[in-house]
Amino acid sequence: MLVVPLIERKREGGALTPEEWSALVAGFTAGRIPDYQMSALLMAVMWRGLERQELAALTDAMIASGQRLTFEGWSMPRVDKHSTGGVGDKVSLVLAPLVAACGVAVPMMSGRGLGHTGGTLDKLEAIPGFRTDLSLAEAKSQLQRLGVVMIGQTPEIAPADKRLYALRDVTSTVAAIPLISASIMSKKLAEGLTGLVLDVKHGSGAFLPETERGLELARTMIALGEDRGCPTVALLTAMDRPLGRACGNALETEEAILALRGEGPEDLMEVTYALGVEMLLAGKIESSAAKARQRLENALSSGLAAEKFEQVIEAQGGNPKVVEDASTLPQAQAVEVFAAPDTGVVTRVEPRVLGRAIVAMGGGRTRVEDAVDASVGFVITVKPGDKVLAGEPIASVFARDPAGVELAFEALRQAIVIDERLTQRPLPLVSHRVTRDGVEALTAPEKKGGRGASPSARKR
């Protein structure tokens, strides 16, 4: 196939046919189309976008590049949640066992840290022995046995996305709504779901910070899901400050475990419950949001959700004792307290600065092959709007060595802005609900996951 004329057409703003997209994806996945041509095409898509039928064809071709999970004869509802990525976002670790404990099967397929954002797989792998690389057959069997499995993208699922994603990551072609939508939805639609809930982040720490762009991303993914028979709903949630208090893999795993034991910070629990309600409604386990919320709260307070997480850890090769005793998680060598440099009101806790610092401290990757040090990160006990006194402890840093501590302190000095008064209102934690029928602005008053909401993520 001649690729250059197709690149030219897209570059000039034209559309490719479904057959052309299908041949391009198949050729690229099979190695017949070189990376440099695909990179040029991706960059043309960044600038020119995709028409609706092109996006549909690209997504279908990406799904068709691999297998689709099927569950003939298994009537249990299967609902997954996908977040577009943030800092301190450990929701999946709490949500998957919680929703499974309520009777909805959760085939959770997650990713690794990307750029400044953390990834569920890296957090799970902080648990010694935990395997996220199950085969599709293993994953399916665990899902049917336990009602939940937490894995990475297997080689069988949308292999075209895996190759395209790696290329986008190094050619600055990630932040395009059609490309993000096709990437996320090709994986999700291959999971054989009966429903999908999307957590679309907006705010300065999100890949697409502007609310309007977040809404457009949500609408685009919903249309792809619904048109392919998968009921899809999205919530827009705040990423203008980290979610919860812990940022960094092992610290976040510990905070997720605390949450499963009923001691989670309020903001983390609000987002988790909001997404959980949508998952139970999508799974048709409950008919109203109030009943769904009650069911989730019961599963948490009865210990069923924590027990489910123990079962997942055991089934996937980890030590389930971590749920009772977090000291089995990797421990940082250098731990220091950070004090407020001034008296005043916290106006910003900037997620992007913190996420980048975690990568620089060894807790994320700058190259695909990098190993991740799960122990490093921050526990930040203030949120925008909190009053602080100079010299008061407001964060702890967890680093490998004194140089890491210094780097972390510098990041905190930049990320946590203290002023005389709050200059900008933080985004509501959950601001919009998007369905195929439209966008609903949620007016519930914001609940802060403020200080004192729960014990610190790690007591030492």
Nearest CB to ligand URA, comparing residues 147 and 152: 152
**284 included as an active-site residue:** no
Q: Closer CB to ligand URA, residue 192 or residue 330?
A: 192
Q: Using the rule CB under 6 A, is 195 a contact of ligand URA?
A: no
Q: Which of 111, 195, 248, 355 binds ligand URA (CB under 6 A)?
A: 111
Please report how close the Cβ of residue 85 comes to ligand URA at its closest, in angstroms: 6
Stretch of 9-17, 176-184, 334-342, 449-457 lying at the interface with ligand URA (CB under 6 A): 176-184
Q: How far is the CB of 92 from ligand URA (least distance, A)?
A: 13
Q: Check residue 63 for interaction with ligand URA (CB under 6 A).
A: no
Among residues 50, 91, 180, 407, which is the contact residue for ligand URA, using CB under 6 A?
Answer: 180
Shortest CB 430 distance to ligand URA, Å: 20
Q: Is 421 a catalytic residue?
A: no
89 among known catalytic residues: no
| Cα(218)–Cα(202) distance, integer angstroms | 11
Give the residue, chosen from 15, 64, 167, 174, that forms a contact with ligand URA under the rule CB under 6 A: 174
Q: Does residue 9 have an active-site annotation?
A: no
Binding mask 67-106 for ligand URA (x = CB under 6 A): -----------------xx---------------------
When asked if residue 43 is in the footprint of ligand URA (CB under 6 A), the reply is no
End-to-end CA separation in angstroms for the chain: 62
Whole-number Å distance between alpha carbons of 25 and 232: 25
Any idea which residue has 């840093």 for tokens? 397
User: SS in 3 state form for 128-161?
Assistant: CCCCCCCCHHHHHHHHHHHCEEEEECCCCCCHHH
Q: How many CB atoms lie within 10 A of CB 71?
A: 17
Q: Does residue 161 have an active-site annotation?
A: yes
Q: Within 261-372, where are the H helices? A: 266-282, 289-301, 304-315, 351-358
Which residue type sits at 122? Answer: D
CB closer to ligand URA, 153 vs 347: 153
Q: Helix or strand or coil: residue 168?
A: helix
Catalytic annotation, pick one of 116, 162, 163, 187: 187
**Does 184 sit near ligand URA (CB under 6 A)?**
yes
CB 58 within 8 A of CB 42: no
**CB 89 to ligand URA: min, Å:** 12
In sequence order, the 6+-apart residues with CB closer than 8 A to the CB of 243 are 86, 87, 88, 89, 90, 91, 237, 267, 268, 271, 449
Q: What is the CA radius of gyration of the chain?
A: 22
| Residue linked to tokens 């990757």 | 365
Greatest alpha-carbon pair distance for the chain in Å reads: 67
Residues with active-site annotation:
82, 161, 168, 183, 187
Residues found near ligand URA in the complex (CB under 6 A): 84-85, 111, 165, 174, 179-180, 183-184
